[in-house]
Structure 1
Amino acid sequence: MLRLKKYILSNFSALFMSIFLPLFVIASVIFLIKLSTYTAVIQLTIFEMGKLYLFVLPEILFYTLPITFFVAATLSLFKLSNDNEIIVIFSLGIAPGFIIRTFFKPAFILSVLLAFNFLVVAPHTTTLSKNFLSYKKSEAKFNLAASEFGNSFGDWLLYIGAKNDDGTFSKVFLFNKKQEEEILIAAKKAKVINDSGILRLQLMDGEGYSYSKEKFSQINFQEMLINDTLKADLTTYEQPLQYWLSKENAGRKKHVFIKDTLLSLFPMITLFLIASIGIVQVRHQKSKVYLYLFVSIVLFYGMTIGLEKMFQYYTIPVVALSWLITTYAIYRKTIVNKF
């Protein structure tokens, strides 16, 4: 029995990798194209594009692995049926339930990994990706350059004499005109600093002038920080549970939780359907395995999305139990009663 189980799983693993790799590459290309659209708003280096890709990698794996498992397991049984090996297995007195038990362990492990992915890993990577893009957008607003027309920096008008190779600025002038007072600041050198997502302008070795109708004042400074900042809208959380329970984007989180929970359960609740589609009598049945695979995936996603508004969180047990009961009935009729 152990050798037979290893033989079935070896056929499954070979098909799994041959299906997973193309799906993974296609999904990666789609996500990279989506990421490239950000370059219309912000500047991204190749390293930063790779960083963003790593943030979406768990999401790519989450959506490709369940479908790959379903397709690979079904096609591996279909291959064994075409080679008449399934008939030989059943002729030796081995019940169809052995096939279900063989795939149960990898299905269970995959479901646990998928649940850990979307419950624990996804909140972290989603927050990192969102904060990174928010920071880059705020940095883009802070894209200072040497220009005779000046730059806008909050309430300040900023003139830069030259931009150095190390990213600092030379001969910097800031002007701020209020209702009753005007302020002029001149510095020999300045640089942009990032403090936890907040961008500030640090001025070094300069003078400041403040004048109005009543008074005129001057100060000399070695270092000054302009605190009228452009702040990135960053999201913080301490634990995954805090992320899921927070009210921010509550509607979207509920939709993701329902959909991803059912997708995590998909490998386990489709075991009976895998056997029903994959095990065929080649001499007496016309194979429609690819059609059944396509219809099954579309139907499962359709039920998940279609019933969500009606049942809310109850969509999870409704879809899971109805899918399990229906596929078991099909399994009993097409496999158990015949073999």
Structure 2
Amino acid sequence: MNKLRRYILSNLSSVFLSMFLPLFVIASMIFSIKLATYTAIIKLSLLDMVKLYMFVLPDILFYTLPISFFIAAVLSIFKLSNDNEIVVIFALGIKPSFLVKTLFVPAFLLSVLLFINFFMLYPHTDNLSDNFIDQKKSEAKFNLSASEFGNNFGDWLLYIGKEDKENKRYEDVFLFNKETDEEILISAKQADVINDGGVLQLELKNGEGYSYSKDKFTQINFEEMTIYDTLQASLKTYQMPLEFWSDEDGRKKKDRLLITDTILSLFPLLSIFLIVAIGVVHARHQKSKIYLYIFLGIIIYYGAAMSLHRTLGYHTIYIVALAWLMSTYLIYRKTIAKRF
């Protein structure tokens, strides 16, 4: 029995790789195209694109692994049926439940892996990705051009006379800020832009500042002055998974993810009976329908997970899980268990 179990699992693993790799490549291309849209906003190097890809890699695996397992499991059982090996197995008195038990272990392990993926890894990668994008957006403000108008630093209009590219320093700098009742003009002989933990600072040296309104005029001289980018978005602080999911910030999105991703994590485990029901076929009469059944199984399950949460809320998890498990078991009992 152990040899037979290993033989079935070896067939499953070979078919799984042939299914997973194309789906993984296609999903990676789709996510890469999505990531490429960031280049319209910020400047990204090849290394930056690789980092962003690593942040979305858990999402790619989350959506490709269960579908790959479902298709591979059905096709591996179908291959045994097509080669008449299933007939031999049943002729030896081995029940169809043996196939269910054989698939249970990899399906259970995959469901656990998927749950850990979205529940524990997603908060971490989401935090890293958002902070990385925010930091790149702030760094984009380093692209200041000398002898050109239109440069901005937060609320300030900025003009740069000269640029020392070798030392990354600016000279003959002028800043202007017009408020409701007051206008401020600052000039400095030298300026450095500093990124302190994602917060931009403009460090001015040897300059003068003028503030004037209807009532008064003020003038100061300074050796050093630091201006902060007031428009800089604050970076997210890392939260532990339980803190992330219990935090009320973005509650609707988190509720939707908890419901749908929990259901999708259970897809391999809850679909074992359907896998056997679809895979064990009469090769001559049912061969043309197997791919239709695979497609319908994925569409129905994923469609229920993605749509019902809007009306059923968290009840969607156990309703979809129990309904799917019971319906697929009835199909298994009617088509397979009674016949063999």
**Structures share a fold, TM > 0.5?**
yes
Report the residue type matching 1:266 in the other structure: F
Say whether 1:113 aligns with 2:110.
Answer: no
Q: Classify 1:180/1:265 alpha carbon distance in 2 versus 1 (closer, same or farther; 3 Å).
A: closer
Contact 1:135 / 1:233 at 8 angstroms: preserved in 2? no
Partner SS, residue 105 of structure 1:
helix
Report the residue type matching 1:276 in the other structure: A
Partner SS, residue 201 of structure 1:
strand
Aligned equivalent of 2:86: 86
Say whether 1:309 aligns with 2:310.
Answer: yes
- More divergent stretch after superposition (54-63 vs 241-250): 241-250
- More divergent stretch after superposition (24-33 vs 126-135): 126-135
Contact 2:149 / 2:158 at 8 angstroms: preserved in 1? no
Aligned equivalent of 1:187: 189
Q: Deviations over 1:59-94 (max 9, x none)?
A: 000000000000000000000000011111111111
Say whether 1:101 aligns with 2:101.
Answer: yes
Q: Classify 1:278/1:166 alpha carbon distance in 2 versus 1 (closer, same or farther; 3 Å).
A: farther
Report the residue type matching 1:173 in the other structure: F
Q: Deviations over 1:89-143 (max 9, x none)?
A: 1111111111111111111111111000000101111121122222223333553
Distance 1:180 1:286 in 2: 80
Distance 1:283 1:208 in 2: 90
Say whether 1:7 aligns with 2:12.
Answer: no
Q: Classify 1:134/1:80 alpha carbon distance in 2 versus 1 (closer, same or farther; 3 Å).
A: same
Say whether 1:66 aligns with 2:49.
Answer: no
Q: Classify 1:258/1:11 alpha carbon distance in 2 versus 1 (closer, same or farther; 3 Å).
A: same
Q: Classify 1:87/1:149 alpha carbon distance in 2 versus 1 (closer, same or farther; 3 Å).
A: same
Contact 2:156 / 2:175 at 8 angstroms: preserved in 1? yes
Distance 1:182 1:305 in 2: 54
Q: Classify 1:159/1:332 alpha carbon distance in 2 versus 1 (closer, same or farther; 3 Å).
A: same
Compute the displacement of 1:55 (Å).
0.5
Compute the displacement of 1:234 (Å).
2.7
Q: CA RMSD in A?
A: 2.0
Compute the displacement of 1:247 (Å).
1.7
5+ residue gaps, structure 2: none
Distance 1:18 1:75 in 2: 11
5+ residue gaps, structure 1: none
Q: Classify 1:182/1:199 alpha carbon distance in 2 versus 1 (closer, same or farther; 3 Å).
A: closer
Pairwise mapping of residues 238-277 of structure 1 onto structure 2 (< 5 A)?
238-277=239-278
Compute the displacement of 1:268 (Å).
0.3
Partner SS, residue 219 of structure 1:
strand
Contact 1:142 / 1:230 at 8 angstroms: preserved in 2? no
Contact 2:123 / 2:239 at 8 angstroms: preserved in 1? no
- More divergent stretch after superposition (246-255 vs 261-270): 246-255
- More divergent stretch after superposition (271-280 vs 233-242): 233-242
Contact 1:56 / 1:125 at 8 angstroms: preserved in 2? yes
Contact 1:111 / 1:268 at 8 angstroms: preserved in 2? yes
Distance 2:303 2:14 in 1: 30
Equivalent pairs: percent with the same residue? Answer: 56
Partner SS, residue 42 of structure 1:
coil
Compute the displacement of 1:297 (Å).
0.4
Report the residue type matching 2:89 in the other structure: I
Compute the displacement of 1:225 (Å).
1.3
TM-score by length of 2: 0.92
Partner SS, residue 230 of structure 1:
coil
Distance 1:6 1:166 in 2: 64
Say whether 1:332 aligns with 2:333.
Answer: yes
Distance 1:275 1:237 in 2: 43
Contact 2:264 / 2:305 at 8 angstroms: preserved in 1? no
Report the residue type matching 1:184 in the other structure: I
Aligned equivalent of 1:24: 24
Aligned equivalent of 1:219: 221
Distance 1:180 1:312 in 2: 53
Contact 1:150 / 1:160 at 8 angstroms: preserved in 2? no
